[in-house]
Amino acid sequence: APPERAQAVEAQTRGVLWTQVQQMRQNPVIAVQGEAVSGAEEAEPWDPITWYVPGFTVAFAFFLIGTVASTLLQEKEVGTFRRLIASPMPRGAIIGGKMLAYVIVVFLQVIVLFGAGTIFFKMPLGESPVALLLRTLALALASSSLGMLLGAVCTSSKQSDRLGMVLGFVLMALGGTVGFPLFRAEGFMGLLSRMTPNAWGIEGYMGLIVDHWTLAQTLPNILVVLGFAVVFFALALWRFRYD
């Protein structure tokens, strides 16, 4: 056949094929539709924001321990702490008063980070505001109590500042803020992670915002973190030198 006729036939054939393809796209012969198996729960897509925000919130709270300890020791170094001891208030109240300021700081950190996660990334805040509040209070008490314990065992503000930074990074890694939530791992690493207050803090926040824990479901996690706070505070009272 002449070249012109061959080209015309080829163009016509392509047009017919393309028309058939468009019709198959609009009205497919076989329709595929995905459905969950009867009785099985369909897993929701995992949002990394619901891990990063709680993880760094808890990590930043425990990065304050060096500041808590160094501030306390600086007062002892300049002599203002002796004036507090001379006052009629109980010694435990002196440490408790120091902790209160950093409890407020932790609350402000949580408000800023969770607020940013909610506004910019549509992160949910869970279904129990009371559980979220108590979860944050337990975290604040644990971090400030650990800071007081660090101030009780260190001999200078510089030492406590450096040791607090190192301890903050160690707790961040073991708690599961970076890389992988180690508290969900099996074996020795999972057990080691659960020996840190960071792991329980992250798990509690993720349970509230991802798994929609109620107050009753969150309460055991809160009590564990409060247990860390009580132990840290008791050791701080025992080791602290009032001089």
User: Which tens digits make up the pLDDT trace of 117-158?
Assistant: 999 988 999 889 999 999 999 999 999 999 999 988 888 888
Within the chain, which residues score under 70 in pLDDT?
Answer: 1-46, 91-92, 242-243
| SS3 state of residue 36 | coil
Is the distance from CB of 123 to CB of 210 less than 8 angstroms? no
pLDDT at 39 (0 to 100) = 53
CA atoms within 13 A on the CB side of 137: 10
Q: Which of 179, 191, 137, 160 is nearest to 73 (CA)?
A: 160
pLDDT at 224 (0 to 100) = 96
In the block, tokens 């369909």 appear at 42
pLDDT at 138 (0 to 100) = 96
pLDDT at 217 (0 to 100) = 94
Q: Which of 121, 119, 125, 111 is nearest to 209 (CA)?
A: 125
pLDDT at 36 (0 to 100) = 53
pLDDT at 43 (0 to 100) = 46
Question: Given CA atoms 126, 200, 101, 49 in this order, what sign does their dihedral have?
Answer: negative
Q: Report the helix count and the strand count for the chain, using DSSP H and E.
A: 10, 0
